[in-house]
Amino acid sequence: MNKKKRLYSKLTVLGLVTTFALLGGCSDNSNETNQAETPSFEDVSVHDPSVIKDDGTYYVFGSHLAAAKTDDLMNWEQIEGDGADASNSLFDNVKEELSETFEWAQTDTLWAADVTQLEDGRYYMYYNACRGDSPRSAMGVAVSDNIEGPYEDLGIILKSGMGAGEDDVDGTPYDDAFYPEVYNATVHPNVVDPHTFFDKDGKLWMVYGSYSGGIFILEMDATTGMPLEGQGYGKKLLGGDHSRIEAPYMVYSPETDYYYLYLSYGGLDAIGGYNMRVVRSENPDGPYYDAAGNEMTDVKGAAGTVFDDGSIEPFGVKLMGNFEFTNPETEISSGYVSPGHNSVYYDEETDEQFLIFHTRFPDEGEFHQVRVHQMFMNEDGWPVVAPHRYTEESLAQVSEKEIRGEYSFINHGKEISDEVKESLSIELEKNNSISGDVSGEWKLTDENSAELTIDGVTYKGVFLEQWSPTAEAVVMTFTALSEEGIAIWGSKIQ
C-alpha cells in the first residue's frame, strides 16, 4: 500500500480554479533571516500557457482559448476556461470570427495561443487550430486594444496539411520547390504553437511548430504583425520525421548574449513523458546547440519512423521531467507528471527569470494546472530551474554550515518516459563529500554557486533557500546542470 501523503490542490466542481494552501510552519533549524509566512496559492488550469506582462499584471493565454492573470505569480485568476465557444469573452463570437480557421483545420477548438504587444500599442493574438490526428492546421492573427479582448481577426497567415490541388494562404498552388504540390509532413511544419518575440535589435520574429517537419522560424513585420513576404514556411531550426518536439519559446538573455529556445519533448498526456528542454544560439535564427555542443539542425526522428523518441532523446538540455520528492520522515510527497509547453518571463529590471508551464501530477490523471518556478543562469550560461514552485524567494549569500545535511535528491536524466523519478536520499557532509544513494563531492564556489561531482560527472548551479511543501518549511535546495545537459535537484530534509 502506498502510504505517501501527496500535496495537491483540491479540485472544485468545475475543475478550473483551485486553491492550494500549504499547512505547517518553518522549522527551528532553518535560516531565521529567510523565514516566511506559510505561502498560499490560487491555482488555475491553462494548457500551454504563454506569458505576457501588461501594466504590472502577468497574463497567460493557452489552448482552448483559456486565459488567466496574476500580480504575484502565485495567486491566479481565471479569465476564461477551456472553451472556444460563443460564450468566451476573448472574442465576440469566436466560431463566427474564426470560421475559416475551424473549417480548414476540421476542428471545433483552438490550440496554444500567443499574445504580444506591438509598436502600435495594440495586442496581437497568434491563434492556431489543428485537426489533431494529422497536421492539417491553420494559424492566424487577431488584434485588440485591450489585452483581455475582444479580439478581431486579421486573417490566416499559414496553413499546413494540404493535399494535391489545394492552395496556400495566398491562393498560390503549392507547386514550387518549397511548397510542393503535395504537403510532406516529414519535412514541412505543422503550423501550430507560435511564439512571437523581439530580438536584441528590436526585430520581430516568430518560432512555431509541433512534431511533423520540425520547428521553424519566420521574420515578421513589427508594424502589421504579419510574416514578411517571400519566406514560405521560413527557416527550419530542428526536428522532422514526426519526432515529438514542440512548443518552441524564445528568450534572449542580456546576461549571456544568447538566444534560448525552450522546447517540449515527448507526449503531453500523463503517460507521454513530456519534458522541458532548452538549446541556445548567438542568433535568433540559429544554428542552435545544446550544452554538449551538439548542433540541433539535423536532430530529428529516424527516416521512416513516427514518434521515434530514441533518435532525439540524447539531444537538448533537459530541465525538468516527471519527478516526485518524498520526505522520508513524514512520507509527504509532491511532484509533477508531464510538465511542459512552457513560456519564460525575463524581468529586465530585476534580472529574474520565471519558467511558466502546465503540469499533471502523480496519480491525478489528466488534471493539470499552471506552475511557476524561478530560474537562474549557472556558471556556464545555462538556465537551472529551482526545485520548488515560486514563493518570492531570491538568491542570497549562504554558508557551508547551512548547506550541510540530508537531502531528497532528483536526477532528471535524459529519458522520454512515463516513469516518475522518485527522490533518493543523500547527505552533503562536513568534509564536502556526498554520501547516501549517490556519492561524490560538493562545494560552494562563491556566495551561492553550487558545484557537485557525482559519479565523475560535474554539475553547476546554485544553492537557494525555498519553501518546501514536503518539509513544510523554508529549506536549503540546490539546482545544477551537467555538460551533458542533465539537471539535478536537491531539497533539504528537515
Task: Strands of 347-472 (E only): list them.
Answer: 353-360, 369-377, 383-385, 405-411, 421-422, 424-428, 433-436, 440-444, 449-454, 457-468
Catalytic residue among 48, 97, 241, 406: 48
C-alpha cell at 399: 554558508
The CA-based dihedral angle spanning residues 275, 281, 287, 289, taken in that order and rounded to the nearest 10 degrees = -50
Alpha-carbon torsion (377, 314, 207, 141), positive or negative: negative
Q: Which of 42, 97, 114, 246 is catalytic?
A: 246
484 catalytic, yes or no? no
Angstrom CA distances, 207 to 99, 110, 190, 220, stand at 24, 18, 12, 10
Give the C-alpha separation, 128 to 138, whole Å: 6
Question: Residue 43 corresponds to which cell in the numbers above?
Answer: 491555482
Q: Respond yes or no on whether the N-terminal peptide bond of residue 328 is cis (omega within 30° of 0).
A: no
Query: Cell triple for residue 276?
Result: 522541458
Q: Helix, strand, or coil here: 306? A: coil
Report how far residue 400's alpha carbon sits from residue 403's, in angstroms, rounded to the nearest whole number: 5
How far apart (Å, rounded) are the C-alpha atoms in residues 317 and 307? 19
48 annotated active-site:
yes
Residues designated catalytic: 48, 246
